[in-house]
Amino acid sequence: MVVPSAASREMAPESLPLGIIPTVDMSAPSGRGELARRLVRACAERGFFKAVNHGVPARAAARLDAAASAFFARPAQAKQAAGPPDPLGYGSRNIGANGDVGELEYLILHADPAAVARKARVIDAEDPSRFSIAVNEYVDAVRRLACRVLDLLGEGLGLRDPTSFSRLISAVDSDSLLRINHYPTSAAALRGPGDRSCTAEDAKSCNSNGGAKGTIGFGEHTDPQILSVLRANDVDGLQVLLPDGRGGGGDEWVQVPADPAAFFINVGDLLQALTNGRLVSIRHRVMASTSRPRLSTIYFAAPPLHARISALPETVSAGTPRRYRPFTWAKYKKAMYAHRLSHNRLDLFHASGDDDAADDEHS
């Protein structure tokens, strides 16, 4: 079942009503302490929130949208020169190497300026610096927003070092990515002769996943990194899986109303592990529109590959023992690439008994 979101609103001090997608005013009208508490509540109860008054310049978003739209408007052969995704680069329909498909085309870029410059040579051969400048300006702005959110979460959680999260994504060798998704109006435009929207194996997830009506643009998943910062045009499609409001203990898909002036921020798997499950990595998906194209850009804030991911001491106690054994981001990425999109990857790293010390040595 898919339900419309209850009016997205600024959060009250109490717990969020079911079906509500929280809106957080990043200008902190009630003070920094209250902002930190609201962010923790949103990320603990929903794993997802809408950020307004976020400080990202509108011109940075507009410039990147223009550059992305120009690329996706190019002939298929020209776009394919920027692929295939390995995992970086241009891709169409295929998501990963394990059989997942979607009704979209996309660009995946490493957030490092040097890597962007290399890819820009084939993305915008006429003026590579034009594309690089647009991407780098945008990445710098959303990285600052991500760091601010993470520092506020650290404060709200009472961490001894509130910058514990942001330092991971600010490292010189951070593995952060930028993904630009384009969902065309006509899904058929991305398919070859005889191609189908879903195989028999995928029918459950493509046609009846959560009572979906329409075409799955990007299937159900959680994001593996620390934090995701998404902005899209004014076309609906994003849905998040939230507890239902009927008291049955189930979940339901909630439509997220589009707002190109806002950012939608969600907790990733690594942040759930770092907080010992206090903050939750939310499952989400995108439905393809049959009337208007959707363009979305997601900054995936990630640590260096060698970073050790382990629940911070403040989140572990006798009453809340360690839920996940320590691992590196490289090890988690390997597990991610080995499974389908919808797989709950954190389940592979659940702690069991007293094996933490042994895992600590081999992570």
Predicted pLDDT of residue 243: 77
Angle at 217 between CA 113 and CA 268, to 5 degrees: 55
CB 105 within 8 Å of CB 91? yes
Distances (CA, A) of 10 to 7, 68, 138, 158, 357: 10, 32, 26, 23, 43
What pTM does this model have?
A: 0.89
Task: Provide the sign of the torsion angle of the four alpha carbons 332, 358, 273, 169, taken in this order.
Answer: negative
Specify the amino acid at residue 303: P
Residue 2 included in any domain: no
**pLDDT tens figures, 23-44:** 999 999 999 999 999 999 999 9
List, for residues 271-318, the tens digit of each pLDDT value. 999 999 999 999 999 999 888 999 999 999 999 999 999 999 999 999
In this predicted model, what pLDDT tens digit does every residue of 100-119 receive, in sequence order?
A: 999 999 999 999 999 999 99
Kindly state whether residue 254 falls inside one of the protein's structural domains. yes
User: Which pair of structure tokens corresponds to residue 294?
Assistant: 């959707």
Q: Does residue 334 sit within a domain?
A: yes
> Which residues, at least 6 apart from 52, have a Cβ–Cβ distance to it below 8 Å?
23, 24, 25, 26, 261, 262
Q: Which domain holds residue 263?
A: 23-188+212-349
16 DSSP 8-state letter: P
Q: Which two tokens stand for residue 100?
A: 């997942």
Residue 182, in any domain of the structure: yes
245, with CB counted inside 10 A (0-12, 13-18, 19+), is middle
pLDDT at 359 over 50: no
- Whether residue 87 is preceded by a cis peptide bond, meaning omega within 30 degrees of 0, is yes
What CATH number has the domain bearing residue 243? Answer: 2.60.120.330
| Domain membership flag for residue 285 | yes
For residues 185 and 335, the model is more confident at 335
Report the number of distinct structural domains present in the chain. Answer: 1
Name the least confident of 53-62, 211-220, 238-247, 354-363: 354-363
Q: What pLDDT is attached to residue 332?
A: 98
- CB proximity list for 194: less than 8 A, separation 6 or greater: none
Residue 335 maps to a domain: yes
Please give the pLDDT value at position 251: 87
Q: What is the pLDDT of residues 196-211, one digit of tens each?
A: 333 333 433 443 344 4
Q: Is residue 18 part of a domain?
A: no
